[in-house]
Structure 1
Amino acid sequence: MAKDIDNPCVSLCQLNSELCVSCGRSRDEIRKWRAMKRPEKMATVQRAAVRLKAIVKKNAKRQPSE
């Protein structure tokens, strides 16, 4: 049997509206994680990674360079 997908949670939950800015998952994805099948988890992890990149990029634009 294939290895299960690791939970992307980093135990620094910081929900900003419907999105955790620490792991990139939506509130709904966090709630449903344990019941998700492997393909759903893989897709969730991929979406979360894209969201995190966007968050980092957005925050980098906000911070003045030193």
Structure 2
Amino acid sequence: SPCCQVCRLDGQGICIGCGRSAEEIRCWLSLDREGRWAILRTAAERRRKLNNRGPDE
């Protein structure tokens, strides 16, 4: 699991720690390897965007 123990959802329902949506977190254990890799790629992009946002975004 990509969880880093910083479990807080932002205003869009994305975890600020791992970058996954609440739905992606819920279904993680039932996904196959390919599904998990797809989520990891998407989450990495979300984390990059979160890190580049200004304080009022």
TM-score higher than 0.5 here? Answer: yes
Give the aligned partner of residue 62 of structure 1: 55
TM-score, scaled relative to structure 2: 0.88
CA offsets per residue over residues 29-54 of structure 1, 9 Å max, x none?
00000000000000000000000000
In the alignment, structure 2 segments of 5+ residues that lack a partner are none
Give the aligned partner of residue 16 of structure 1: 10
Identity across matched positions, percent: 33
TM-superposed deviation, 1:62: 2.9
CA offsets per residue over residues 6-63 of structure 1, 9 Å max, x none?
x1100110112411011000000000000000000000000000000000000xx338
Give the aligned partner of residue 29 of structure 2: 34
Give the aligned partner of residue 45 of structure 2: 50
Q: Whole-Å Cα distance in 2 between the matches of residues 20 and 51 of structure 1?
A: 9
Runs of 4+ more than 2 Å apart: none
Of the two, which has the highest radius of gyration? 1
In the alignment, structure 1 segments of 5+ residues that lack a partner are 1-6
Larger strand proportion of the pair: 1
